[in-house]
Structure 1
Amino acid sequence: MRVRKLTVLFLSFMGLLLATWVVFGQTRRVDDLTLRNAGKAGEEWLTYGLTPGETRYSPLRQIDTNNVSRLGVAWLFEIGSGGSNQEATPLFWNGNLYGITNWSVVFSVDARTGKERWRWDPEVNQTAVRPRICCGVVNRGLAIYQGKIIAPVVDGRLEALDAETGKPLWEARVAYPQDNYSITMAPRIAKGKVIVGVSGAEYPVRGFFAAFDANTGQFAWRFYTIPGDPSKPFENPALKKAAETWSGDWW
């Protein structure tokens, strides 16, 4: 219960902090240029780690060492069950917070009032998926692009939701839990593509990153991070070189 309360208090503090950044009025769409410059002005939190380099450093000056002791709880919001497995960093855009729980439930909250705007549940089959995930069911965060919230689902799906309504726009399959894959990382956006990697290295899986068209969800490419079956051709020279550095029963 204590962990749950701390989680709720943390999110409420984030709401108070981020509410000071809100520029109410005209909606600004998030595109590639916006994401490349994310974090420079500090008014919004548009990508995991705030900046493309994940500095997590805000240039804002309104809250400092002189007034931080006067901060208090502005509102509380129940994000859901999960306890210490709630690891996602909320995004902040157009006066709203966007978060995701460890079981990939996505929600939007008005940063000024703490009122829930919408919630989307991917209805993950927890009984079937949980045994396939090592070391805890977690989710690190979301991506935002062109009015869409891009949500990684722990069972291997990638979902695009309307940022204003939470309505599903497209769904893509990255991997399958029956193959011991899951998704726990926050997606990135680059040149109109959603890029996401898979988890599951504690099991005999082959790690990879995959890219999908951010507007349609169409599969674009897959890049394996480790070599595959040595009896088959390598996908690129880099993997061939990597295989030469390994020994023993690596396959």
Structure 2
Amino acid sequence: MSQIRIRSCWLQGVAIALLAAALSNTTLAQTNSPAKLDDARLADAAKHPQEWPTIGGTYDETRFSQLDKINVDTVKDLKLAWYGDFDTTRGQEATPLVIDGVLYTSTAWSKVYAYDAKAGKQLWMFDPKVAGSKGQDACCDVVNRGLAAYDGKVYIGALDGRLIAIDMKSGKEVWSTQTTDVDRPYTITGAPRIVNGKVVIGNGGPN
């Protein structure tokens, strides 16, 4: 298990470094206004390869980037652009989102971080304060596998079954709703999806 955690942490770091490198020629984060991410923009995500607005990159979820600045000839020149420290050594399995120059990612215990994707400056961190006892209900560590974003908000499915909307600019909670039976050992580690202005999330449990 420790080797798996180390590997997943390393992959998370590589993902952040590569995304930052890919964005090196894009506009700096526009932190004064929320991202104008709507249905049309999500549907046309493939036309804007400098961004990664949804899990898998586009609704097809191919996880394929059309950017070609990093290729077989230039990969040898890659170097660390910046890094961000998380407050845990637990498993990391999220794929970051990149929207309007801001990188959003989730981490263990359903925490969410926002960074300026070019400079690496942490803009905010959100902690849903999941009870530590909830960890015993998770089959595969207290990981979180990603976020969704829409209309100025980023969404996370918390380990304890809450679906939480967070303001993309401030990192403050906008609303929260319990999506699972709290008397059952259900958890959420998967990423939400946005479809026609609605947030879709599932759940799991070891029992």
Flag whether TM exceeds 0.5 (same fold).
yes
Task: Give CA-to-partner distance per residue, 1:90-135, whole Å, 9 cap, x none.
Answer: 0001111001112101110111111110001011101x20122223
Deviations 1:12-32 (A, max 9, x none): 413433423633487751101
Aligned to 1:172: 177
Q: Any unmatched runs of 5+ in structure 1?
A: 204-251
Deviation per residue, 1:47-69 (Å, 9 max, x gap): 00111111000111222211111
Preserved CA contact (<8 Å) 2:28 2:116: no
User: Is this contact kept in 2: 1:11–1:76, CA < 8 A?
Assistant: no
Contact kept? 1:86, 1:101, Cα under 8 Å: yes
8 Å contact 1:41–1:59 — kept in the other structure?
Answer: no
Match of 2:48 in 1: 41
Q: Which residue of 2 aligns with 1:56?
A: 63
Higher Rg: 1
Alpha-carbon distance between aligned partners in 1 of 2:135 and 2:29, rounded to the nearest angstrom: 43
Matches of 2:68 and 2:105 in 1, distance apart? 24
After TM superposition, the score normalised by the length of structure 1 is: 0.73
Amino acid at match of 2:147: L
Partner of 2:197: 192
What is the alpha-carbon distance in structure 2 between the residues aligned to residue 117 and residue 36 of structure 1? 27
Kindly indicate whether structure 1 or structure 2 has the higher relative contact order, using CA contacts under 8 Å at least 6 residues apart.
2
How many Å separate the matches in 1 of 2:123 and 2:165?
17
Gaps of 5+ in 2: none
Q: How many residues align?
A: 200
User: Which residue does the alignment assign to 1:22?
Assistant: 26
Q: Does the residue aligned with 1:179 lie in a helix, a strand or coil?
A: coil
| Partner residue in 2 for 1:141 | 146
Q: CA offset at residue 6 of structure 1? A: 2.5
CA offset digits 1:145-187 (Å, max 9, x no partner) = 0010111111000111110110111111111453011111100
Which segment drifts farther, 156-165 or 28-37? 28-37
Percent identity of the aligned residues?
A: 38
**Residue 159 of structure 2 corresponds to residue 154 of structure 1:** yes
